[in-house]
Amino acid sequence: MPESIDRDDLPQATVVPRRRVRISVVWVIPILAAVVAIGIAVQRVLSEGPTITIVFKAAEGIEAGKTFVKYKDVNIGQVTAVRLSPDYGKVEVTAKIAKSAAGLMVDDARFWIVQPRVTLSGVSGLSTLLSGNYIGFETGKSDRKQRNFTGLEIPPVITDGQSGRQFVLKADSLGSLGIGAPVYYRSLQAGQVIAYRLADDGKAVEITVFVNAPYDQYVDGGTRFWNASGVDVAVGAGGVDVRMQSVVSLIAGGLAFETPPFAVTGVRAAADTVFTLFGDQATAMKKPDLTGMRYVVYFDETMRGLSAGAPVTLLGLPAGEVTAVGLELDPQTANIRGRVEIVTFPERLIARLGQHQAAVGAALARSRQQRQVFFQRLVEQRGLRAQLRSGSLLTGQLFVAFDYFPDAPKAKIDWSQETPVLPAVPSPVTDLEAKLSGILAKLDKLPYEAIGADVTRALASLNVTLEDTSKTLNRVDTNVTPELKTTLEQVRGVLATVDGVLQNGVNSTLAEVNTTLGDLRRPLATADAVLKTTEATLVGRNAPIQHELRDALQEISLAARSLRVLMDYLDRNPEALIRGKAEVKP
């Protein structure tokens, strides 16, 4: 039952006004700002590519935040930090690579610093003069991702994207070749050297060349590569033949290739085929000698100037070469003689035969028996002998010549030996020497001492003779001289008398001359008068008479002058009247 409750006693519930939390629309602004900022951040994070480290020897022109990494001239990243390696020996460059290029960062990717580079074969990287250096990049073939790289010292030659093939050349030495050295095919640049390295055994250099697409099809299995550096000068009877690929190859070195017609295999060489690099074109294109026949020749003379590789000629034509020069010791006969091993190539001689004889020659080359018989006859009947001859007077290089010496002593060939011995004759040079020494020996035999004694004796007798002469002269001095003196005194007396006579003579002569002159004066006066009359009678100065007169007068005047000269002379030299005119003293 319900109990009555006083409602007023109950506590009143409080009414708490509901707090209405009203959120203003203005909060959209910070939300928007947050969304944008987060959006940018997310985008940044998403577009973030890998960060790689490249180790360089030196960071030439590389600056953090400014240097780019470029692949095919497209920026794929930027350098973010440059610092020294922990051991201070190298430089570690940290670069941030774009996400799009992240897939390129593989194991064998290459990095290098691109800077202006002026080499003999060209100028590269000029754009970096303005933009600054950048890091060049070349991706690799590997699939493995890599984040740490080692930068290259020298920019590699880029071949990716170019079609062509790569070949390896083995050479004894690198020579003047460098990275980028051109490879020529018929004087067209067909490729270039892209790398070189020492062979694993250290005994050769492996040069990697890249032959560009249109030309690589001409690299055959039998193609020969040779070093085309420098100038190839050949002096022949036809003149001087100068061959040069290009000025670049002259300076920077270069290679060339060609397939000799006899070596064409018709099969294209596969990429990375190894070829031998020949020293020059002639060696490279030389037909290989198929069958070489070995012989030994013994010489009993000096072999100075004969070396392996020296030619062997038959009647002056190349027939082979010297393979070894040595000595042979024979203890039984106590003899040491020169031993020259030669190899002859019958093909070379057959190539010289006339066309219709080629078959005969070939048959001879094939059959050992026939060849031996033929040779035997040549040696025994015709006198075929080996001889050392001087190839060059300047260098003294010798070669082995085979010629006919019908007078040579008989010889035989022992075919049973593995390398038959061919007979030899002394060389003309040594012959001459022998003759000279013979003459010297004869000279040596002359009785020099006896001759000396004779000469001494002759000289002694000469001495005696001279002494006799001296004595004779002394006698002359003592006996003859006084007599001579008296004779001279007498002569002087005679001369004195002559002098007196002369003086008197001259004086009288002068007086006579004086009177003669006085007489002359009179006719002259008459002449004067005559002249005056003549002048009066003859009109005109140029009258012939006048002329003649002048001449006459001149003659007279000359006569008078002569007379005066005579007088003077006589005055000075009165003896002239007797002795005549004296010689003019010098």
Partner 1 sequence: MTATVLTGARAGLVSCETCRLLSRPASLAEPGYCPRCGAELAWRRHQSIQYTWALVVAAAICYIPANALPVLTTNALGSSDSDTIMGGVVLLYTTGSWPLALIVLVASVMVPLGKLVALVYLLITVQRGSLGGTRDRTRLYRMVQFIGRWSMLDVFVDTFTVALVQLQPLMSVEPGPGVLFFAAVVVLTMIAAESFDPRLIWDPAVTRGNRHA
Given the complex with partner 1, which of 130 and 460 has the nearer CB atom? Answer: 130
CA–CA distance, 298 with 181 (Å, rounded to integer):
48
**Interface positions, 39-68, toward partner 1 (CB under 8 A):** 40-41, 65-66
* Least CB distance to partner 1 at residue 130 (A): 5
Contact status: 81 vs partner 1 (CB under 8 A): no
Nearest to 164, CA basis, from 226, 208, 196: 208
Number of residues that bind partner 1 (CB under 8 A): 20
* Least CB distance to partner 1 at residue 38 (A): 9
> Can you tell me which of 32, 327, 495, 560 binds partner 1, judged by CB under 8 A?
32
Given the complex with partner 1, which of 5 and 28 has the nearer CB atom? Answer: 28
Assign 502 to helix, strand or coil.
Answer: helix
Query: What would the 3-class secondary structure string for 226-245 be?
Result: EECCCCEEEEECCEEEEECC
Given the complex with partner 1, which of 80 and 554 has the nearer CB atom? Answer: 80
The label of the residue with tokens 């440059």 reads: 82
| Structure token digits, residue 227 | 């070093």
Segment interacting with partner 1, rule: CB under 8 A, options 21-29, 171-179, 218-226, 528-536: 21-29
Given the complex with partner 1, which of 39 and 122 has the nearer CB atom? Answer: 39
Given the complex with partner 1, which of 36 and 582 has the nearer CB atom? Answer: 36
- Are 248 and 172 in contact by the 8 Å Cβ rule? The answer is no
Question: How many angstroms separate the Cα of 42 from the Cα of each of 33, 98, 114?
Answer: 14, 15, 34
CA–CA distance, 67 with 60 (Å, rounded to integer):
11
**Interface positions, 305-344, toward partner 1 (CB under 8 A):** none
Given the complex with partner 1, which of 32 and 567 has the nearer CB atom? Answer: 32
CA–CA distance, 209 with 254 (Å, rounded to integer):
11
> Can you tell me which of 2, 11, 17, 30 binds partner 1, judged by CB under 8 A?
30
Query: What would the 3-class secondary structure string for 96-155 be?
Result: EECHHHHHHCECCCEEEEECCEEECCEEECCCHHHHCCEEEEECCCCCCECCEEECECCC
Given the complex with partner 1, which of 131 and 469 has the nearer CB atom? Answer: 131
Segment interacting with partner 1, rule: CB under 8 A, options 125-133, 222-230, 486-494, 548-556: 125-133
> Can you tell me which of 1, 15, 16, 23 binds partner 1, judged by CB under 8 A?
23
* Least CB distance to partner 1 at residue 63 (A): 10
Question: Tell me, what amino acid is at 560?
Answer: A
Segment interacting with partner 1, rule: CB under 8 A, options 27-35, 48-56, 156-164, 534-542: 27-35
* Least CB distance to partner 1 at residue 43 (A): 11
| Structure token digits, residue 433 | 């020497």
Nearest to 284, CA basis, from 256, 249, 244, 265: 256
* Least CB distance to partner 1 at residue 54 (A): 20
Segment interacting with partner 1, rule: CB under 8 A, options 19-27, 86-94, 181-189, 294-302: 19-27
C-alpha 338 chain-centroid distance: 35
The label of the residue with tokens 């006969």 reads: 333
- Using CB atoms within 10 A of its CB, is residue 182 exposed (0-12), middle (13-18) or buried (19+)? buried
- Are 143 and 182 in contact by the 8 Å Cβ rule? The answer is no
Rg (CA), the chain: 61
Given the complex with partner 1, which of 81 and 530 has the nearer CB atom? Answer: 81
CA–CA distance, 80 with 86 (Å, rounded to integer):
18
CA–CA distance, 56 with 58 (Å, rounded to integer):
5
Length of the chain: 586
> Can you tell me which of 49, 61, 125, 132 binds partner 1, judged by CB under 8 A?
132
Segment interacting with partner 1, rule: CB under 8 A, options 28-36, 316-324, 344-352, 537-545: 28-36
* Least CB distance to partner 1 at residue 147 (A): 25
Segment interacting with partner 1, rule: CB under 8 A, options 23-31, 98-106, 306-314, 408-416: 23-31
* Chain contacts with partner 1 (rule: CB under 8 A): 22-24, 26-27, 29-30, 32-34, 36-37, 40-41, 65-66, 127, 130-132
